[in-house]
Amino acid sequence: MQKIKIGIIGGAGYTGGELVRILVNHPNASIDFIQSNSNAGNNVGKVHEDLYGETNLEFSAGHHFDVDVIFFCAGHGEAKKFVAQNNIPSSVKLIDIGNDFRLQKDSVLNGRQFVYGLPELNKAAIKKANSIANPGCFATAIQLGLLPLAELGLLSKVYTTGITGSTGAGQALSATGHFSWRANNIQAYKTLTHQHLGEIGQSLRQLQPSLNAESVVNFIPWRGDFARGIFVSSQLGSDILIEELYDIFETFYNDHPSVTVSKDPISLKQVVNTNNAIIQLEKNGNDLVIHSAIDNLLKGASGQAVQNMNLMFGLEERTGLKLKGSAF
C-alpha cells in the first residue's frame, strides 16, 4: 500500500515526541507536518533530543488537510475546539490522544463519531472507524486487568492501586513533577476521584451491563520516583481456582498480540519503551490480585494511537511497534 500521510497537532510534548519516534521508523508512515505553537520553525531533533539525526523535519505553525490521518497530541480540550472550528474532510481520519471524546456522551461532534480506541475491547469497531478517542494511560492498564472477568460477568467490588512515572504529568514543570520533588519520594493523589474512572466504568459496563461501574472500581493513584511506566494492582474477591483464572485471561487475550499473560512475577522494565502490556495473577484464599504493567507513553498513549492507526488502515496491528523493552 502507499504510505499513510500523517499530520500531528501539538507535537512538542512527551506524547508528540513518542509518536514521532515511532512514525519515523514505521514502514507504512510518512509524516507530512508536525504542528507546534511554541516551537514553529525549530528542528524536531533539537526539541526531542532522542530524534537528533533521525529526521530533518521542522515544526510548523499551521496545518492542512491533505493527509490521511491527523493525530492530536495537544492539551485536553484542544482537539474538541479543533474539530468544532474546522471543516475537516470526511476522508481524513482523526486520532485524539487526549480525553476529549472518550466518554459516550462526548463522542459525537461536527458529524464525527469517535470510537473508544482500546483494541482489546473494540478492535472490530476501530477497523471501521474514521475517528478514534485514544484511552487514558491508567485506564488502559486497569481495564486490561479487568476486562476478561467483566466479559464473564465475574466482576465485583475492585480495589486498585497504581503508580505512574513523572512523564504522566506532561512536559510542563510543576511542583509535583520537578526532579527535586520526585526524587526519593512518592505521593497518593486524586484518591477515588481520578479522571479515568469514567472511561473505565464505561468499558466494564460494555461487557458486564449489570455492573454499577461508577462505584465498582475504588482507585488510588500514586506519583512514582521514576520517569515512565505504570504498574497497577487490582484486588477483588473470587472463588475460582487460579488455574482456571489463567485460562480465562489467556483465552481472552489470545487474539491480542500486545498483551501477554505471565505466571511469573512481572515488573515495569519488561514493558517500558514498548507498546506491550503484561498481566500476572496472584491468589490467596478467595482474594484475587491482578497486576498489570504498561509504558504510560506508549501502550498508554502514542503507541496505542499507532496501534489504532494500523487497524484503521488494514495493517497488522503491531506494525512499527515491535519495540525492545529497557531490561536494565
Residues of the domain holding 9: 4-134+301-312
Residue 320 lies in a domain: no
Regarding whether 233 and 95 lie in a shared domain, the answer is no
Longest dimension (CA), the chain: 61
Query: Which residues does 69 contact at the CB level (< 8 Å), separation at least 6?
Result: 4, 5, 6, 7, 92, 93, 94, 95, 309, 312, 313
Taking the C-alpha atoms of residue 311 and residue 124, their distance in angstroms, rounded to an integer, is 9
Q: Is the pLDDT confidence value at 77 over 80?
A: yes
Domain annotation covers residue 318:
no
Q: Is 327 exposed, middle or buried (0-12, 13-18, 19+ CB in 10 A)?
A: exposed
- Looking at residue 87, its pLDDT comes to 94
Could you tell me the three cell numbers for 163?
503508580
Region 179-206 average pLDDT: 91
- Verify that 94 and 53 share a domain, yes or no: yes
Has residue 166 got a pLDDT over 90? no
* Residue 73 annotated to the active site: no
pLDDT bracket for residue 327 (50, 70, 90): low
Whether residues 283 and 142 fall in one domain: yes
DSSP string, 199-259: HHHHHHHHH-TT--HHHHEEEEEEE-SSSS-EEEEEEEE--S-HHHHHHHHHHHTTT-TTE
Global pTM reads 0.95
Which DSSP string corresponds to 258-323? Answer: TEEEESS---GGGTTTSS-EEEEEEEETTEEEEEEEE-TTTTTTHHHHHHHHHHHTT--TTTT--P
- Residue 158 and residue 109 in one domain: no
Residue with cell 507535537: 11
| Confidence bin at 253 (pLDDT 50/70/90) | very high
pLDDT over 60 (residue 92): yes
The answer as to whether 322 is a domain residue is no
Query: What does the pLDDT average to over 191-216?
Result: 89
Are residues 33 and 144 both part of a single domain?
no
pLDDT for the residue numbered 161: 98
Residue 180 has a pLDDT of 74
The conformation of residue 95, written as its DSSP 8-state character, comes to E
Q: What is the pLDDT of residue 18?
A: 96
Query: Would you place residue 271 in the very low, low, confident or very high pLDDT band (cuts 50, 70, 90)?
Result: very high
* Cell numbers standing for residue 24: 519515523
Q: What's the mean pLDDT when you consider all of the chain? A: 94
What span, in angstroms and rounded, lies between the C-alpha atoms of 132 and 114? 5
Are 141 and 290 in a shared domain?
yes
Place of cell 451491563: 209
Domain match, 39 and 141 both: no
Are residues 107 and 13 part of one domain?
yes
- Whole-number pLDDT of residue 170: 57
Q: Are 189 and 248 in contact (CB under 8 A)?
A: no
Residue 201 has pLDDT above 70, yes or no: yes
The percent of residues in the chain predicted with pLDDT above 90, rounded, is 85
pLDDT-derived band at 290, boundaries 50, 70, 90 = very high
Domain shared by 280 and 154, yes or no = yes
User: For residue 195, is it within any domain?
Assistant: yes
All three cell numbers of 250, joined, read 489467556
Total count of residues recorded for the chain: 328
Residue of higher predicted confidence among 183 and 109: 109
Among the listed residues 324, 326, 263, 294, the one whose alpha carbon sits nearest the alpha carbon of residue 163: 294
Q: Is the pLDDT of residue 140 over 70?
A: yes
Q: Over 90: is that where the pLDDT of 214 sits?
A: no
323 part of a folded domain:
no
- Residue 54: its pLDDT value, please? 86
Please report whether residue 37 resides in a domain. Answer: yes
DSSP conformation class of 130: S
Residues 106 and 169 in one domain: no
Q: What is the mean pLDDT of residues 210-231?
A: 89
CATH number at residue 25: 3.40.50.720
CATH code for position 198: 3.30.360.10
187-191: average pLDDT: 94
Residue 254 reports pLDDT greater than 60: yes
Beta strand ranges found along 11-137 (DSSP E): 29-35, 59-60, 69-72, 93-96, 108-109, 112-113, 115-116, 131-133
Three cell numbers written together for 285: 484464599
pLDDT above 80: residue 73: yes
State whether 289 and 278 are in the same domain.
yes
Q: What is the pLDDT of residues 311-325, one digit of tens each?
A: 999 999 999 999 988
Q: Does one domain contain both 145 and 288?
A: yes
Mean pLDDT computed over 75-104: 96
When pLDDT is cut at 50, 70 and 90, the band that residue 286 belongs to is very high
Instruction: Provide the pLDDT for residue 53.
Output: 86
Q: How many structural domains is the chain composed of?
A: 2
Give me the catalytic one of 95, 126, 137, 207.
137
Average pLDDT rounded to a whole number, residues 83-101: 97
